[in-house]
């Protein structure tokens, strides 16, 4: 690619779309042009890209006539309709929604973990769920070294994962609560899940529901972590259980991860391994109170791992604390990194 790629961001005004634009400002990808797409409501608004003012356009099928790579983050319904339209017009789609993730024809990729899956793409590549991505970055080096029998994860997820409006909801509720309103006067409209029947306050709260409930009383978010782990690690035998919890943090998902490996590995060996693993920053020194924190992860591309310690009862059991910026590695950065990897592997084309 001599001149560079023509890139579109779908959902350019959203929590993730805004971060995609920032990641594209920093990318090593050669860029010829950037097109910002959103709903009719946003058409005509402007955004600065590397000092240049760009005007947001309304998303229509023909938006993709002159696009090589389209990054989607405008909700599953939009991806369902417009991703195939983009591919039809010759664009390779990196989709941040859950819509295509479990489609057998669609690679689900974390570049540090399974870049080879990109070779099978037919035009659409799915970006995994934010909580899954950071867990995969932390666990893949351990899986390669010692095998993995079981994962039990509890998440502490930030509100920005539910979109820009959910962040506004948290801030409004927090202000109102501190100004003296009671919890029953906060009038939540979005969380825990915009499409569900009831809404609960997130300010000063913890909600054990992310997305709506599905089979066996697990939420979809929990099923995403289970199914996507199997697909990315290409191993359905790994036992996975997840409990996903929303907490009143703006950005940065935290996870308490318990694993059982096939071969015993000491906590020190895990630390040494993760210290040199791609995309991981080890922050683990209890004597100095060093461990990953959500606030410190914001605007960083890495996944931070700490509190690595052996289970007291199971010989092959290990506990750890895994933190990453859900809008970056969990979404925008992973998507742009997929585009960079496609470029490096000469795969930015829709196969005939
Ligand atoms: P808009 O701001 O014009 O509504 P978030 O995940 O933060 O909620 O953001 C959702 C993103 O998806 C926004 O950029 C939003 O644009 C975009 N979006 C929502 N509905 C549509 C639509 N019908 N067509 C195009 N973009 C849409």
What CATH number does residue 107 fall under?
3.40.50.720
pLDDT surpassing 80 at residue 25:
yes
pLDDT surpassing 60 at residue 29:
yes
Residue 180, annotated ligand binder? no
Find the 41 Cα to ligand 1 centroid distance in Å: 9
State residue 244's pLDDT score. 99
| Residue 320 pLDDT level (bands cut at 50, 70, 90) | very high
State residue 302's pLDDT score. 98
| Residue 180 pLDDT level (bands cut at 50, 70, 90) | very high
Tens-place pLDDT, residues 248-277: 999 999 999 999 999 999 999 999 999 999
Give the structural domain span for 286.
132-326
**Percent of the chain surpassing pLDDT 70:** 99
Mean per-residue pLDDT over the chain, rounded: 97
Q: Is 332 in the pocket of ligand 1 (CB under 6 A)?
A: no
| Tokens describing residue 275 | 């210290």
> Which of 21, 72, 74 for mutating ligand 1's site (highest number of atoms within 8 Å of CB)?
74
Q: How much of the chain is in helix, strand and coil states, percent to nearest 5? A: 35, 25, 40
| Residue 189 pLDDT level (bands cut at 50, 70, 90) | very high
Secondary structure (3-state) at 327: coil
Find the 129 Cα to ligand 1 centroid distance in Å: 18
In a domain, 352, yes or no: no
Instruction: Provide the annotated active-site residues.
Output: 130, 253
Placement of tokens 């990953």 in the chain: 292
pLDDT surpassing 60 at residue 157:
yes
| Tokens describing residue 208 | 């054990």
Q: Which residues pair with 9 in a beta bridge?
A: 36, 71
State residue 153's pLDDT score. 99
Statement to judge: residues 231 and 139 lie in one domain = yes
In a domain, 71, yes or no: yes
pLDDT surpassing 90 at residue 32:
yes
Statement to judge: residues 181 and 286 lie in one domain = yes
Q: Which of 200, 181, 182 is nearest to 190 (CA)?
A: 200
Statement to judge: residues 297 and 183 lie in one domain = yes
- Taking the chain, what is the end-to-end CA distance rounded to the nearest angstrom? 19
Statement to judge: residues 97 and 236 lie in one domain = no
Q: Is 80 in the pocket of ligand 1 (CB under 6 A)?
A: no
State residue 340's pLDDT score. 98
pLDDT surpassing 90 at residue 236:
yes
Secondary structure (3-state) at 234: coil
Tens-place pLDDT, residues 78-135: 999 999 999 999 999 999 999 999 999 999 999 999 999 999 999 999 999 999 999 9
pLDDT surpassing 80 at residue 299:
yes
| Tokens describing residue 236 | 């359905």
Q: With contact defined as beta carbons under 8 Å apart, do 99 and 124 qualify?
A: no
Task: Provide mean pLDDT across the span 295-321.
Answer: 98
Sequence-ordered list of residues with C-beta below 8 angstroms from that of 111, at least 6 positions apart, any chain: 334, 337, 338, 340, 341
| Residue 352 pLDDT level (bands cut at 50, 70, 90) | confident
Find the 167 Cα to ligand 1 centroid distance in Å: 15
Residue 14, annotated ligand binder? yes
Statement to judge: residues 121 and 238 lie in one domain = no
Sequence-ordered list of residues with C-beta below 8 angstroms from that of 52, at least 6 positions apart, any chain: none
Sequence-ordered list of residues with C-beta below 8 angstroms from that of 173, at least 6 positions apart, any chain: 186, 188, 201, 202, 203
For residue 59, how many C-alpha atoms fall within 13 Å in the half-sphere facing its CB? 25
Rounded distance between C-alpha atoms, residue 37 and residue 63, angstroms: 8
Statement to judge: residues 267 and 244 lie in one domain = yes
Q: Where are the beta strands (DSSP E) in the chain?
A: 5-10, 31-38, 46-49, 52-55, 57-58, 69-72, 92-95, 124-126, 148-157, 239-246, 253-261, 280-282, 303-310, 317-324
pLDDT surpassing 70 at residue 187:
yes
In a domain, 226, yes or no: yes
In a domain, 141, yes or no: yes
Q: With contact defined as beta carbons under 8 Å apart, do 151 and 257 qualify?
A: yes
Angle at 246 between CA 245 and CA 251, to 5 degrees: 125
State residue 318's pLDDT score. 99
User: What's the total number of domains in the chain?
Assistant: 2
pLDDT surpassing 80 at residue 65:
yes
Nearest CA to ligand 1 atom 16: 38
Rounded distance between C-alpha atoms, residue 159 and residue 148, angstroms: 30
Statement to judge: residues 39 and 158 lie in one domain = no
In a domain, 349, yes or no: no
pLDDT surpassing 80 at residue 2:
no
Statement to judge: residues 137 and 117 lie in one domain = no
**Percent of the chain surpassing pLDDT 90:** 99
Flag the least confident range among 2-11, 29-38, 43-52, 168-177: 2-11
Nearest CA to ligand 1 atom 21: 39
In a domain, 265, yes or no: yes
Secondary structure (3-state) at 219: strand
Statement to judge: residues 87 and 110 lie in one domain = yes
Statement to judge: residues 169 and 91 lie in one domain = no
Alpha helices, DSSP H only, in 148-307? 164-178, 220-233, 267-275, 294-297
pLDDT surpassing 70 at residue 1:
no
* Alpha carbon distances (Å) from 40 to 7, 60, 172, 307: 20, 10, 26, 47
Statement to judge: residues 111 and 155 lie in one domain = no
Residue 349 has a CB neighbour count (10 Å cut-off) of 13
In a domain, 65, yes or no: yes
State residue 3's pLDDT score. 78
Q: Is 15 in the pocket of ligand 1 (CB under 6 A)?
A: yes
Q: With contact defined as beta carbons under 8 Å apart, do 72 and 93 qualify?
A: yes
Residue 47, annotated ligand binder? no
Statement to judge: residues 152 and 190 lie in one domain = yes
In a domain, 169, yes or no: yes
């Amino acid at each position: 690619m001599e001149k560079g790629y023509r890139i579109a961001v779908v959902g350019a005004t959203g929590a993730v779309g805004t971060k995609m634009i920032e990641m594209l400002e920093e990318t090593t990808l050669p860029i010829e042009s950037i097109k910002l797409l959103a709903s009719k409501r946003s058409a005509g608004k402007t955004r600065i890209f590397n000092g240049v003012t760009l005007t947001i356009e309304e998303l229509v099928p023909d938006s993709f006539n002159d696009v090589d790579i389209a990054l989607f983050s405008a909700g599953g319904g939009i991806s369902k309709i417009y991703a195939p339209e983009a591919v039809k017009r010759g664009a390779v789609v990196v989709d941040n929604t859950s819509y295509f993730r479990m489609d057998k024809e669609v690679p689900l990729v974390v570049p540090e973990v399974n870049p080879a899956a990109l070779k099978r793409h037919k035009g659409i590549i799915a970006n995994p769920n934010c909580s899954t991505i950071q867990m995969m970055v932390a666990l893949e080096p351990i899986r390669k070294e010692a095998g993995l029998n079981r994962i039990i994860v509890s998440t502490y997820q930030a509100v920005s994962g539910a979109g820009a409006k959910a962040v506004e909801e948290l801030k409004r509720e927090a202000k109102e609560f501190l100004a003296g309103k009671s919890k029953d006067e906060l009038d939540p409209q979005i969380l825990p899940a915009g499409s569900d029947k009831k809404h609960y306050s997130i300010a000063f709260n913890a909600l054990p529901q992310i997305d709506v409930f599905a089979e066996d009383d697990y939420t979809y978010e929990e099923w995403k972590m289970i199914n996507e782990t199997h697909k990315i690690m290409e191993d359905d035998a790994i036992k996975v259980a997840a409990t996903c919890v929303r907490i009143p943090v703006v950005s940065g998902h935290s996870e308490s991860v318990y694993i059982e490996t096939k071969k015993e590995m000491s906590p020190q060996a895990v630390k040494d391994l993760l210290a040199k693993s791609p995309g991981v920053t080890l922050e683990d020194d209890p004597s100095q109170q060093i461990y990953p924190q959500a606030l410190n992860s914001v605007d960083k591309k890495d996944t931070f791992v700490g509190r690595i310690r052996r289970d007291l009862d199971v010989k092959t059991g290990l506990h750890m604390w895994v933190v990453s910026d859900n809008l970056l590695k969990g979404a925008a950065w992973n998507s742009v990194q997929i585009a960079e990897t496609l470029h490096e592997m000469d795969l930015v084309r829709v196969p005939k």
